[in-house]
Structure 1
């Protein structure tokens, strides 16, 4: 996992801690304190009538505070649970990413070793044909599928020179052309089907 991605996850965790951390419980505590104070005030007032403006205001304040306390507490709990689920999912995804990267790295190492062996075998065969360094470069690029113009451009040579070197490669290898050169090296290379 990249460091910038990990930093984003860390900052997301800090933001979510602020939203689901200590503030909602403190707010709920404050609202419950208001409810308790309102109920105590009503009880200590011992009202003659429940319909007085003072009592109705206190009951309303207690009811609203209790409602908001319950609402904030339940949503905070849901948010906390959802956050924990998201963190668990993120941890699983991060672990899967690490496993995929390890698998990819192992495959690359294996493929690089196989290609290095294949490259060495090609180089040995070029040596057996007694190709010059310039002819080896041309032959290798032809094997990669480049045309004479592309080879000339890549090597900084004229197309005529590349054609002459290619003809010399075919002569020394006793091959008829580019397709036989490719077939010589790749004909028995079988890819899984």
Structure 2
């Protein structure tokens, strides 16, 4: 991995240098052409211009390949994580369903309104107030008010205590 990172940095610098040379030689070539500089000099500058463009293409492709390989690795890791999460959900489907039922029963015990219960469940899933507001098509202020009502009725001070209320018994004693 260190080798790839070193080559990536080298490619970035090589692209930058080739681009700089290409731009400077292009400006010099055009200026010399306007000034009527002899053709042998313009020919040398044209060769340097072509070489810098070739370097730009070569090192640009090399950097693109490194970036593409990194994207492919990340995509593979994400697919693996999604597959493992799906396997966990399938293996624990009954447990998850039972936990959801128990959470809803507790919400009923706290006498949450249907809207408050939905907000509470979405908060337990980890969504932010903004995400919940967008999902429910209401203002973020409404969600904050409903979240405060959930906390008050549950007798907790915030999202962390609300989550801990349901998760505390899942942790094994030491």
Report TM bin, short chain.
0.3 to 0.5
TM-score by length of 1: 0.42
Structure with higher Rg: it is 1
